[in-house]
Amino acid sequence: MLDIPTKPYGTLDLISVDDHIIEPGHVWTSRAPSKLKDRAPKVVVSDDGTEMWKVEDRLSPNVGLSTMAGRSYEEFTIKAQNFKDMRPGCYDAKERIKDLDLDGVKVSFCFPAVPGLGGESFMNIKDVELRDWAISAYNDYLIDEFQPVAPGRLMGLGILPLTEPEKAVAEMRRIAKLGVKGLSIPFWFHESVEGAKPLVDSVYDPIWTACEELDMPINLHIAAGRGAGGMSALSSGIPGMAEAFVTAAPLTNFDILSQIIWTGMLDRHPKLKVISSEGGIGWVPYFLERSDYTYEKHRYWTHSSLKQKPSEFFHRQCYVCFIHDEAGVFARHLIGVDNMMWESDYPHTDTTWPNSHDWVEKSMPGIPADERQKITYGNATRVYNLN
């Protein structure tokens, strides 16, 4: 086990824009109307004692690597974890806020787990009544249970039934009124969700229009709806491919940012805010240079609709987040200090908890205080209109 502090850190001057909820077992069963009681996602125990989430006919455990807060590197495991094996801060909001206090983190934006990082797993529920309710019930959990534990500090990212844009917009309007400040959107769900189109298809434009109107940032978490390049090789069973996957996974966000900019999604929705979560930042200087170079050289034969350089859309509307990224901090002026945000990733393996302030120190050696303040606090405050 790590050496875990027993007292609050003292200062609370970090905002983490990327943490993760591990849903407690009652989220859906406790909210289900009687007609859905039997069908609600629930935890069942398999013959070998492993707790499994049951969603329609699909069974899946709480993945080890997603629940490792407090463990040392040597103790990390991919094996299924029952709730009793986890630090309670993983699944209990009251314990979560204590863990944030220990770490000196003031505000934490959290992604879902059971519904999929961007809700894509629930979008695949075949029973449409159950699907729509299960998505809304997750949002209700954020609104009536998770966030009230520490208003303004525990912030849940909402999910939507994206494949039906009208329903998605209605759900967004509902949850925005009830205090949800951002959305998690799966960026590659067209390959895994029945009836979905690529995220950049104009069929989803009404959703982004509503995001602009409600000032609702969308968060694109790496691997949401898709693995990194190399999945076919990953499943080859060749030793070392798991590490290659972990190494390359953040780069999925290079692809999706390219597509969002080039297809004109940001041109058509100039107030939409796009957040790249857990994608790191060290590759962003190359991304921006390569994008503008492509614009300079290739826009004639492609008949691009863009009238501005890709980097201008990025600087106006995109935010890239990192946990620990010395290469990106070194080249921060090639990225744009106003476009960078810090994340802690609690309770996944990459988390900086319970030493976030030490990691920030290590990650941003000697950078000016105003830049550090923007990255760790100021930009998130502005993007999410926090007080």
Closest distance to its own copies from the beta carbon of 22 (Å): 18
Contact flag: residue 61 with its own copies (CB under 8 A):
no
DSSP β-bridge partners for residue 342: 322
Contact flag: residue 328 with its own copies (CB under 8 A):
yes
Closest distance to its own copies from the beta carbon of 325 (Å): 7
Report the residue from 66, 77, 373, 381 that binds its own copies according to the rule CB under 8 A.
77
Closest distance to its own copies from the beta carbon of 346 (Å): 15
CA 199, CA 265: separation in Å to the nearest integer?
10
Report the residue from 52, 149, 170, 251 that binds its own copies according to the rule CB under 8 A.
251
Stretch near its own copies under the rule CB under 8 A, chosen from 15-23, 148-156, 325-333, 378-386: 325-333
Contact flag: residue 299 with its own copies (CB under 8 A):
yes
Burial annotation 8-39 (CB, 10 A radius, 16+ → b, else e): ebeebebbbbbbbbbbbbebbeebbeeebeeb
Residue number, 137 or 261, with CB nearest to its own copies: 261
Residue number, 178 or 246, with CB nearest to its own copies: 246
* Binding pattern for the stretch 332-351 against its own copies, x by CB under 8 A and - elsewhere: --x--------------xx-
Q: Are 180 and 156 in contact (CB under 8 A)?
A: yes
Closest distance to its own copies from the beta carbon of 202 (Å): 8
Closest distance to its own copies from the beta carbon of 197 (Å): 7
Contact flag: residue 238 with its own copies (CB under 8 A):
yes
Binding to its own copies (CB under 8 A): which residues in 130-189?
none
Contact flag: residue 358 with its own copies (CB under 8 A):
no
Q: Which three-class secondary structure string do you get for the chain? A: CCCCCCCCCCCCCEEEEEEECCCCCCCCCCCCCHHHCCCCCEEEECCCCCEEEEECCEEEECCHHHCCCCCCHHHCCCCCCCHHHCCHHHCCHHHHHHHHHHHCEEEEEEECCCCCCCCHHHHCCCCHHHHHHHHHHHHHHHHHHHHHHCCCCEEECECCCCCCHHHHHHHHHHHHHCCCCCEECCCCHHHCCCCCCCCCCHHHHHHHHHHHHHCCCEEEECCCCCCCCCHHHHCCCCCCHHHHHHHHHHHHHHHHHHHHHHCCHHHHCCCCCEEEECCCCCCHHHHHHHHHHHHHHHHHHHCCCCCCCHHHHHHHHEEEEECCCHHHHHCHHHHCHHHEEECCCCCCCCCCCCCHHHHHHHHCCCCCHHHHHHHHHHHHHHHCCCC
Contact flag: residue 205 with its own copies (CB under 8 A):
no
Backbone φ and ψ of 230, nearest 5° = 100, 10
Contact flag: residue 250 with its own copies (CB under 8 A):
yes
Residue number, 36 or 248, with CB nearest to its own copies: 248
Report angle CA 241, 48, 53 to the nearest 5 degrees: 70
Report the residue from 10, 49, 151, 239 that binds its own copies according to the rule CB under 8 A.
239
Closest distance to its own copies from the beta carbon of 1 (Å): 14
Report the residue from 30, 44, 242, 308 that binds its own copies according to the rule CB under 8 A.
242
Q: Are 283 and 218 in contact (CB under 8 A)?
A: no
Binding to its own copies (CB under 8 A): which residues in 255-294?
255, 258-259, 261-264, 280-283, 285-291, 293-294
Contact flag: residue 367 with its own copies (CB under 8 A):
no
Contact flag: residue 327 with its own copies (CB under 8 A):
yes
Residue number, 95 or 201, with CB nearest to its own copies: 201
Report the residue from 6, 11, 236, 387 that binds its own copies according to the rule CB under 8 A.
236
Residue number, 104 or 285, with CB nearest to its own copies: 285
Contact flag: residue 129 with its own copies (CB under 8 A):
no
Contact flag: residue 197 with its own copies (CB under 8 A):
yes
Closest distance to its own copies from the beta carbon of 191 (Å): 6
Stretch near its own copies under the rule CB under 8 A, chosen from 94-102, 176-184, 322-330, 372-380: 322-330
